[in-house]
Chain A
Amino acid sequence: MALGRFLLKRGIQGVLVVWGVVTAVFLLRFITPGDPVTFVAPLDASAELRAQIAAELGLDQPLYVQYADYIVGLLQGDMGYSYLRGTEASTIVLARVPATVELAVAATVVAVVIAIPLGVISATRRRDPADYGATLFSLVGISTPNFWLGIMLILVLSVQLDIFPTSRRPIGFFETFAFLVTVENGFAAPMNVGAFLDGLRTWLWHIALPAVTLGTYFTALVTRLTRSGMIEELGQPYVRAARAKGLPESLIQYKHALQNTLIPIVTVLGLQLGTLIGGAVITEAVFAWPGLGTLVIDSINVRDWPLIQGSLIVIGTGFVLINIFVDALYAYLNPRVVH
């Protein structure tokens, strides 16, 4: 019950945050130089025609009217029309969400799967070659720029060794499941497991390099966090007591010490996942991955405000949801936070 109230409170805070994002982005429109009419009007457009186009786009209205219209539309799921593309902003933005989420989650999985065991090994074998190796890996990972790593991975693993494709996202993760639940003439068609596996393999092969590129910095960070957390926990009196009781070392390390170490790591994972959703621009560009990051940049370049706003609202909402999820997880790992 306490957890439910806690989550409700967080949910209300989240709505306020998203509203804050919408308002801030809206206000930014008016202090950002560059007029969207420039990109929509003919080059020889007269002042009258520019004014007419501005009116068609609703840009001639006072700020509060535009703001109220936008909020009312948003509450009805309408993010407006892209100035340049003539299609609904929500359609364009939401089409980018799966690619972004897939990449962020895959990068996080890469980070967790590699970083936590590496951090534990590093902490439990201090001053061993394994520890030095893990520390060096962390240092290199944190210091390596994403774009360089991405380009190098493509050059070596795609162009030279022909193991992975260079770029693109020919199929989405959830699209692969369509092969299992095909409906024909109102009846469920036989599952095409072969096509499903092929699709999954294609997806996996295409996401591998972007996920590693995006996840490397993250891996290095989590490795260091795990190592330092584990070292601190292993020095705690309860660990000495456990050892004195004769508990197996692996149980002490993985059950007791690691669980306590995970609390700050989960926080960082959550924050980082949120950042990845909005901030994978470079990785998306290098791998031609059609995510939200590149959409935001492209839209900013042409001042397509409905798309910019729509993308930032989706990113902000994603960030809030992840944080609520992390809070819930945090409450589960450490029930004291609920109180």
Chain B
Amino acid sequence: MSRDDSDVNRRTYLKYVGGTAATVGLAGCSDDGGDGSDGSDGSDVNDGSDGEDGSDGEDEEELPEPETREEHLRRANLRLNERAPWIYLNRQYSVYGIASRLDWTARRDERIEAQAISVTEGEPSVTITQSSMDSGLDPHDHRETPTDNIVVQAHDGVLGRNADGDIIDALATDYERLEEGRVRFEIRDGVTFHNGDELQPSDIAYSVNRVVDGEVGIESPQRDQLAGVTGAEVVDGGVEVTSDGINPIVFSLFASYCKVVQQDWIESRESSEINSDMNGTGPFQVVEYEQDVQIVYESYEDYWGDAPEIDELTIRAASESSTRVSQLLAGETDLIVNVPPQEVSRVRDEDTTEVAAVPSTRVVFNAMRYDVEPFSSVEFRQALNYAIDLDSIIENILQGFADPTGQPTLEGFVGYNEEVDPYPQDVEQAEQLVEDSGHAGAEITLETPVGRYLRDVEIAQAVANQIDELSNVSCEVEQRDFASLAGEVTSGELENMPHFYLLGWGNTTFDASQTIIPLLTSDGALSSYREDEEVDELMSESQNLPGEN
């Protein structure tokens, strides 16, 4: 234990310092400019475990206190890398197939906003084929990306994001923090809903309340997406939103979530009507909706923003990826989602189609329950991370359409610690750590959903095989139905959760807190790791510090 702690503390110090003021001084030690594939990036990790006995106590005291919110998040990520509550796997890519006649840049948040599509050749109409249709058109009563993609064409948010994920104005033209727990949005004038009625600030307040307050209309499954927000009201022509505590990422939340609806329109309709039509302020209005089959939009002439370049938009679904690819190759559709790695060459090799791939906001990992043996041992958890050849999984199973991760937060997110590298594969080190943990001979089972995430079963099998190759651990895979696995993970009761499971987590707020808090803190609704006071403290403090967003 002490050997490992000292390793951790030395790395902690080096990386923290390396990531802040002393970057230049220490950069030469670790920065080879590479991606770590040759193992050199991670060499300081291994070196650190060799000859530092006796120096651990001092290093721990040398750690400077984080001050800003971002420093807190970076420190939490570092800590989580070292304590290894997960086997860190990969960041998924969103891979699209598009007709060459389209000009479009894929977004990082997995959403397809058709307004950003332009047509360089042929009719100004575009067809998008995704893996499934919507689960109803109520913008506040769903939680899946396919429904999001259908809703965002017709509904705007208070704020928005550009393709890189930066926050931009939408129905709010200005926003500011008034005091702790209260922010204000100034609402854009001259915006109309598709039925011709003018947008009122009260519609925005109603939309916020409909999401966060079960007493207003529905019990929205999106409530956690506006985490901390308690309500909204109209004050002097603007909308003021209240939160529990400072809520440092409140603007970030509104940039990703909470589509605006018209209060009168919603309140005068039955649920089934709200789920089969849309009346938003977005760039496209619905002209035909056939449940489970297709939705057709036309551009909305009175749209407040730049008019869309396409006149007609159709969204359909085909659950089978090979069918989507065939539709694209046959010219029956213009844009398809989730092109699996094995189909990429079919799209690339054709003159009329191309592939667009972008790192998504989804991280795939193997969670380990901190309270059950052998996963209660930090050494054992680290050993499993050292056992994995992540580069090989990415290259051979995901055909390069993924990035390796070594922390829960993805690159480009607020709080990402760029000094933390993925664990390198080191079988000897892994076996030694297993011995040190006292769990040599452990038999473990990795539970994985089937078909929920890109090549999830194949990834799980590769992970299990690589762990199984250790001389002192055996590992097998158990394939699970996602519904029952998810039910256990989201039950809120730790004892119901599987011991060792594969999961993916999408976080479109681009902020570390929205991954770490729910998944890796003691109060996290889906947390398998509830023992780390340091992480709890760092996250708690970070949520009480103002952020850029």
Question: Contact residues of A with B, CB < 8 Å?
Answer: 32-35, 38-47, 49-50, 52-53, 56, 81, 84-88, 91-92, 95-96, 151, 154-155, 158-159, 162, 165-169, 285-288, 290, 294-295, 298, 300-303
Known: A38-B486, A287-B323. A85 touches B222 (CB 8 A): no
Shortest CB–CB separation between residue B353 and chain A, in angstroms? 11
Q: Is B292 in the interface zone, CB < 8 Å from A?
A: yes
Question: Can you name 20 extra interface pairs (CB under 8 A) apart from A44-B525, A155-B326, A288-B323?
Answer: A32-B484, A34-B487, A35-B487, A35-B491, A38-B486, A38-B490, A41-B219, A43-B518, A44-B227, A88-B272, A95-B291, A95-B292, A154-B323, A158-B326, A166-B332, A168-B332, A285-B319, A288-B316, A288-B320, A295-B292
Name which of B15-23, B90-98, B134-142 contacts chain A: B134-142
Residues of B within 8 A of A50 (CB): 492
Contact of A166 among B141, B274, B323, B518 (CB under 8 A): B323
Interface contact B136-A87, CB-CB below 8 Å: yes
Residues of A within 8 A of B132 (CB): 298
Within the assembled complex, what's the spacing in Å between the Cα atoms of A185 and B272? 28
Within the assembled complex, what's the spacing in Å between the Cα atoms of A44 and B518? 8
**Chain B at the A interface: mostly helix, strand, loop or mixed?**
loop
Within the assembled complex, what's the spacing in Å between the Cα atoms of A166 and B325? 10
Which A residue's beta carbon lies closest to that of B135? A84
**A–B pairs, 9, beta carbons within 8 Å:** A38-B491, A44-B224, A45-B492, A84-B142, A165-B330, A168-B318, A288-B316, A300-B483, A301-B482
Contact of B275 among A41, A86, A95 (CB under 8 A): A86
Contact of A159 among B316, B326, B483, B490 (CB under 8 A): B326
Q: Is B220 in the interface zone, CB < 8 Å from A?
A: yes
Shortest CB–CB separation between residue A4 and chain B, in angstroms? 40
Residues of A within 8 A of B293 (CB): 169, 290
Which residues of B443-488 have CB atoms within 8 Å of chain A's CB atoms?
Answer: 481-484, 486-487
Interface contact B322-A151, CB-CB below 8 Å: yes
Which residues of B266-286 have CB atoms within 8 Å of chain A's CB atoms?
Answer: 271-272, 274-276
Q: Is B400 in the interface zone, CB < 8 Å from A?
A: no
Residues of A within 8 A of B491 (CB): 35, 38
Q: How many residues of B contact A (CB 8 A)?
A: 48
Q: Is B223 in the interface zone, CB < 8 Å from A?
A: yes
Residues of B within 8 A of A43 (CB): 224, 490, 518, 525-526
Contact of B272 among A87, A96, A166 (CB under 8 A): A87
Which residues of B289-330 have CB atoms within 8 Å of chain A's CB atoms?
Answer: 291-293, 316-320, 322-323, 326-327, 329-330
Within the assembled complex, what's the spacing in Å between the Cα atoms of A46 and B327? 44
Top 3 nearest A-B pairs by Cβ distance?
A34-B483, A33-B484, A288-B318
Residues of B within 8 A of A92 (CB): 291-292
In the complex, the number of residue pairs spanning A and B with C-beta atoms less than 8 Å apart equals: 136
Interface contact B487-A159, CB-CB below 8 Å: no
Within the assembled complex, what's the spacing in Å between the Cα atoms of A294 and B318? 11
Interface contact A40-B221, CB-CB below 8 Å: yes
Contact of A96 among B292, B320, B329 (CB under 8 A): B292
Known: A86-B136, A86-B271, A159-B326. A302 touches B214 (CB 8 A): no
Known: A47-B492, A166-B323, A290-B293. A87 touches B487 (CB 8 A): no
Contact of B221 among A41, A56, A159 (CB under 8 A): A41
Residue in B292, B318, B320 whose Cβ sees the most chain A Cβ within 10 Å: B320
Interface contact A288-B317, CB-CB below 8 Å: yes
Which B residue's beta carbon lies closest to that of A35? B487
Interface contact B518-A302, CB-CB below 8 Å: no
Which B residue's beta carbon lies closest to that of A169? B293
Residues of B within 8 A of A41 (CB): 219, 221, 490
Shortest CB–CB separation between residue B140 and chain A, in angstroms? 11
Which A residue's beta carbon lies closest to that of B274? A86
Interface contact A87-B276, CB-CB below 8 Å: yes
Shortest CB–CB separation between residue B276 and chain A, in angstroms? 7
Which A residue's beta carbon lies closest to that of B485? A34
Interface contact A39-B323, CB-CB below 8 Å: no
Residues of A within 8 A of B483 (CB): 33-34, 38-39, 300-303
Shortest CB–CB separation between residue A212 and chain B, in angstroms? 16
Which A residue's beta carbon lies closest to that of B329? A159
Within the assembled complex, what's the spacing in Å between the Cα atoms of A166 and B336? 14
Interface contact A158-B330, CB-CB below 8 Å: yes
Within the assembled complex, what's the spacing in Å between the Cα atoms of A88 and B463? 43
Interface contact A42-B220, CB-CB below 8 Å: yes
Within the assembled complex, what's the spacing in Å between the Cα atoms of A7 and B76? 73
Which A residue's beta carbon lies closest to that of B129? A288
Residues of A within 8 A of B526 (CB): 43
Within the assembled complex, what's the spacing in Å between the Cα atoms of A101 and B397? 39
Known: A38-B487, A167-B318, A287-B323. A85 touches B518 (CB 8 A): no
Shortest CB–CB separation between residue A145 and chain B, in angstroms? 14
Residues of B within 8 A of A294 (CB): 319
Shortest CB–CB separation between residue B318 and chain A, in angstroms? 4
Within the assembled complex, what's the spacing in Å between the Cα atoms of A298 and B220? 21
Which A residue's beta carbon lies closest to that of B317? A288
Which residues of B196-223 have CB atoms within 8 Å of chain A's CB atoms?
Answer: 214, 219-223
Shortest CB–CB separation between residue B514 and chain A, in angstroms? 11
Shortest CB–CB separation between residue A174 and chain B, in angstroms? 15
Residues of A within 8 A of B326 (CB): 151, 154-155, 158-159, 166-167
Interface contact B219-A52, CB-CB below 8 Å: yes
Within the assembled complex, what's the spacing in Å between the Cα atoms of A290 and B223? 32
Interface contact A86-B518, CB-CB below 8 Å: no
Which B residue's beta carbon lies closest to that of A167? B323
Known: A86-B136, A96-B292. A162 touches B319 (CB 8 A): no
Residues of A within 8 A of B143 (CB): 39
Which B residue's beta carbon lies closest to that of A304? B135
Contact of B223 among A42, A95, A285 (CB under 8 A): A42
Within the assembled complex, what's the spacing in Å between the Cα atoms of A335 and B511? 76
Within the assembled complex, what's the spacing in Å between the Cα atoms of A303 and B292? 18
Binary contact track B180-194/A, C-beta < 8 Å → 1, others 0: 000000000000000
Interface contact A86-B138, CB-CB below 8 Å: yes
Within the assembled complex, what's the spacing in Å between the Cα atoms of A33 and B498? 13
Within the assembled complex, what's the spacing in Å between the Cα atoms of A286 and B326? 10
Within the assembled complex, what's the spacing in Å between the Cα atoms of A267 and B525? 55
Which B residue's beta carbon lies closest to that of A96? B292
Within the assembled complex, what's the spacing in Å between the Cα atoms of A244 and B274? 75
Within the assembled complex, what's the spacing in Å between the Cα atoms of A295 and B132? 11
Interface contact B484-A34, CB-CB below 8 Å: yes
Residues of B within 8 A of A96 (CB): 292
Within the assembled complex, what's the spacing in Å between the Cα atoms of A159 and B347? 12
Shortest CB–CB separation between residue A303 and chain B, in angstroms? 5
Residues of B within 8 A of A168 (CB): 316, 318, 332
